[in-house]
Structures are given as structure tokens and as C-alpha cells.
């Protein structure tokens, strides 16, 4: 095989109580990367579509190729590739846009080299793409995009990633308003110190969420989808967020929160219809504020990165 097209899905990170630690994959949107072997070493980006000219074509500056190069260096491989990136999700959305590109690139390279590493082993290289995109190598987006499902990052040094078994059919709706919040800006609004009582409260929420997922307990999941550390500060960056969250919970959402660093808002529900209804109402709210939006609803994506097409 000399060429492959792969897809990496968007993700919802943090899940309220799991700041920088939890993430899940959704079916769509996502990014596609086409990787083609070339006769000489090195990486060349031949095309980027769907980015409105915002992403760099220089291989040393693009998160997808930085991730691929980190992988090739680790493998001591001199193979060269031509890279096409097809952005099929909004940039700066809080849905792991840079993560999806990084994941797709590394996953495609591993496929063309005969899959010497597992998906979980690829996380460390996709993180390097995240680092160049937002300044820090986080795993809460790249892990679920690669592995699918719900993933917990229990440690960064050493890196420890665990896939969480969950015993409920859970659906996720996401609404992305057409405003942009840079990850760096969303981090800057956070306080430099937090009261110990808030840490204890947040730890309780996280514990409830993890136990609720493993036991299939909807009430525990709902209780665990709360956040006293980050959401109160980032909520101010998203128009009508507090009102929207109250509406979502009243309409039957198990939980509602900010996806990653925002501005996308996610809802979790026990069936797709509830998620779709809530997303429709959130969209109407943004319409009333003269803000366009897009919505996506799916079950939790359990597959993660996948091959779309192989070429000989």
C-alpha cells in the first residue's frame, strides 16, 4: 500500500468535572488526511481544504505533519510522504480540530508502515501536534479521537491513558456557535489559585461521573457532569450560556457543559431525539442573538480513527 485516506473524529473534552483528563469521541464532524508515500524522505503538504486559508502549509508548522514527524523520528524511519488535509470541522470550535488532524496524520503513517504500533502507542505523537497548535501537549482530545469511546488521562508523566467502559446508551449533541475562542484565551480567564473546598467538590463530581459510567447509573452521571473550577469563568465567553444550560437540563439532558475550551456547547442524553430537540432549541437561541450555529448529534463513537480508503 502506497496511499491511504483516514478519518479522525471530533471530540468533547473535559466533560465538566474532568478538566484536561476526560474526553469522548463523536461520530462527526472530523478531519480526513490522505497520505501518499514518495520516493524521497521528508514531508510535503500538497493540499489543505476547508480551512479558509488559515492553516500553514509548512510541514514544520502544521500540527498534522509535526505529529507525523515525531512518529517517524521515534521509528527511526526515513520514509517520506505527501500530505493532504481535508478539514471537515470548524477551527477553534472546542471540538478538537487540531487533535483530529494530528491523529489522522499519525494514524495514516502507522497504517502505511504496516501498523507497528497500537493506537494507544500513537497518542504520544499526536500530542506533539497538539503542542504546536495550542502550546501544550494535552491528551484529552487526541486520545478519544484515536481510540474512540470515553477516555481518561490519569497521568501525563508517565503518560497513562485508560478507556472507560460504560453501560448505558449515551448520546451527545453539540452546538457550535459561529464565534471563536482561542484555547490560550480560554485558559487565561481561569484563576491562578482555587479554594481547597472547590477542589474537594470537583473531585466528588469526577468520582460520581466515573462510577456512574461504570455502573450504568444515570443519576450519578448527571451529578458528576458539574464543574465548579472552570465553567464559571469560561461561561462568560459564550453568549447566553447559563440560560442555555438551564434550558437543556429542563428539557431532559443528563448533563450540559462547554466542550473543551469552547465555544461549542455539549449535551448528553439517554436518546438521540432528546439531544436533537435540545440542540434545535439552542440553535434557535443563538439565532435570536444573531449568531449562526451548527449542530451535531450522535451516539458516542466507539471506533475512533479509521481507514476510509486504501490505495495500492
Instruction: Say how far apart CA 126 and CA 74 lie, in whole Å.
Output: 12
Instruction: Say how far apart CA 254 and CA 244 lie, in whole Å.
Output: 14
Q: Where are the beta strands (DSSP E) in the chain?
A: 3-13, 22-38, 42-49, 80-88, 150-156, 159-164, 171-177, 255-258, 265-269, 293-299, 306-311
Is residue 130 part of the annotated active site? The answer reads yes
Neighbours of 218 (CB within 10 A): 16
Catalytically annotated residue among 183, 197, 219, 310: 183
Instruction: Say how far apart CA 208 and CA 197 lie, in whole Å.
Output: 17
Catalytically annotated residue among 130, 203, 218, 276: 130
Residue 59 near residue 65, CB atoms below 8 Å? yes
Residue 130 near residue 146, CB atoms below 8 Å? no
Which residues are known catalytic residues? Answer: 130, 183
Amino acid at each position: 500500500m502506497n496511499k491511504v485516506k483516514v478519518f479522525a473524529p471530533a471530540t468533547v473534552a473535559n466533560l465538566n468535572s474532568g478538566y484536561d483528563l476526560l474526553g469522548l469521541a463523536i461520530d462527526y464532524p472530523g478531519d480526513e488526511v490522505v497520505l501518499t508515500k514518495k520516493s524521497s524522505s521528508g514531508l510535503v503538504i500538497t493540499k489543505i481544504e476547508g480551512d479558509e486559508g488559515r492553516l500553514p502549509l509548512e510541514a514544520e508548522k502544521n500540527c498534522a505533519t509535526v505529529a507525523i514527524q515525531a512518529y517517524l523520528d521515534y521509528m527511526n524511519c526515513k520514509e517520506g510522504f505527501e500530505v493532504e488535509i481535508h478539514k471537515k470541522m470548524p477551527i477553534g470550535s472546542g471540538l478538537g480540530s487540531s487533535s483530529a488532524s494530528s491523529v489522522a496524520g499519525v494514524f495514516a503513517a502507522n497504517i502505511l508502515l504496516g501498523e507497528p504500533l497500537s493506537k494507544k502507542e500513537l497518542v504520544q505523537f499526536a500530542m506533539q501536534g497538539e503542542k504546536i497548535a495550542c502550546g501544550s501537549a494535552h491528551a484529552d482530545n487526541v486520545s478519544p479521537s484515536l481510540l474512540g469511546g470515553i477516555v481518561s488521562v490519569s497521568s501525563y508523566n508517565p503518560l497513562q491513558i485508560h478507556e472507560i467502559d460504560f453501560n448505558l446508551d449515551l448520546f451527545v449533541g453539540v452546538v457550535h456557535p459561529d464565534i471563536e475562542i482561542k484555547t490560550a484565551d480560554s485558559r487565561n480567564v481561569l484563576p491562578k489559585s482555587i479554594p481547597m473546598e472547590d477542589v474537594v467538590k470537583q473531585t466528588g463530581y469526577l468520582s460520581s461521573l466515573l462510577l456512574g459510567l461504570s455502573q450504568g447509573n444515570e443519576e450519578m452521571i448527571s451529578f458528576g457532569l458539574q464543574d465548579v473550577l472552570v465553567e464559571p469563568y469560561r461561561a462568560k465567553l459564550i453568549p447566553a450560556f447559563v440560560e442555555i444550560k438551564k434550558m437543556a437540563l429542563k428539557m431532559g439532558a443528563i448533563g450540559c457543559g462547554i466542550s473543551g475550551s469552547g465555544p461549542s456547547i455539549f449535551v448528553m442524553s439517554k436518546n438521540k431525539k432528546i439531544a436533537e430537540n435540545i440542540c434545535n432549541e439552542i440553535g434557535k437561541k443563538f439565532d435570536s442573538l444573531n449568531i449562526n450555529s451548527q449542530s451535531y448529534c450522535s451516539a458516542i463513537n466507539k471506533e475512533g480513527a479509521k481507514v476510509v480508503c486504501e490505495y495500492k
